[in-house]
Amino acid sequence: MNFKTTIVLLVALLAVGVIFFFSNHGSTEQPQPASQTVPGQGEKLVDLESNQVTGISITDADGNRTSVRQEGVAWKMTDPVAAPAVDWQTQDLIRTICDLRSQGKPDSTPSDAGLDKPMYTVDLIGSDGKSTRLTIGNKTGAGDVMYAQINGGDVNLIDSSLAKTLKTAGDDLRDKHLITGQASDYKQIRITSPTQTLTLQKQGDRWLITSPSQIPGDSDAISSFISSIIGTEATEFVKSDSDELPYARFDHPTLQIWLSTDAPTTQPTADAATQPSGGVTLTIGAPDSLAKDHYFAETSDGLIAKIARTSLDDLTKSPLDLRDRDVLSVTPADVTRISSVKSAYPPLSSTQSTQPSAIAANTRPMSTHAVVLSRRPKTAPVFGPSLAASQPTTAPATQATKSAWMFTIPPEPDSAVDDSKVDTLLSKFSPLHADKYLEQAPVEAVDVRFIVTVETTSMNKYHIEIVKPAGGQSDYAICNGLIFEIPTAMVDALDTDFHKTP
Q: Domain map of the chain by residue range?
A: 50-172, 183-324, 327-376+403-494
| Per-residue model confidence (pLDDT) at position 32 | 35
| Per-residue model confidence (pLDDT) at position 363 | 59
Please state the rounded mean pLDDT for residues 11-16.
54
DSSP H or E segment with residue 372: strand 367-375
> For residue 481, what is the DSSP state?
T
User: How many percent of the chain have pLDDT more than 70?
Assistant: 81
Please state the rounded mean pLDDT for residues 105-111.
85
Q: Which residues pair with 368 in a beta bridge?
A: 343
| Secondary structure (DSSP) of 253-270 | -SEEEEEE-SPPSS----
Give 266's pLDDT tier (boundaries 50, 70, 90): low
Whole-number Å distance between alpha carbons of 277 and 227: 22
pLDDT digits (tens, 9 = 90+) for 447-471: 899 999 999 999 999 999 999 998 7
Residue 260's CB is within 10 A of a number of other CB atoms, namely: 19
Please state the rounded mean pLDDT for residues 50-61.
94
Please state the rounded mean pLDDT for residues 177-193.
92
| Per-residue model confidence (pLDDT) at position 333 | 94
pLDDT digits (tens, 9 = 90+) for 304-325: 999 999 999 999 999 999 999 9
pLDDT at residue 26 above 70?
no
Pairing between β-strand 65-71 and β-strand 74-79 as defined by DSSP bridges: antiparallel
Q: What does the mean pLDDT of the chain come to?
A: 85
pLDDT digits (tens, 9 = 90+) for 157-178: 999 999 999 999 988 999 999 9
Contact by Cβ (8 Å): 159, 103: yes
CB hemisphere CA count around 172 (13 angstroms):
13
Please state the rounded mean pLDDT for residues 425-446.
92
Give 141's pLDDT tier (boundaries 50, 70, 90): confident
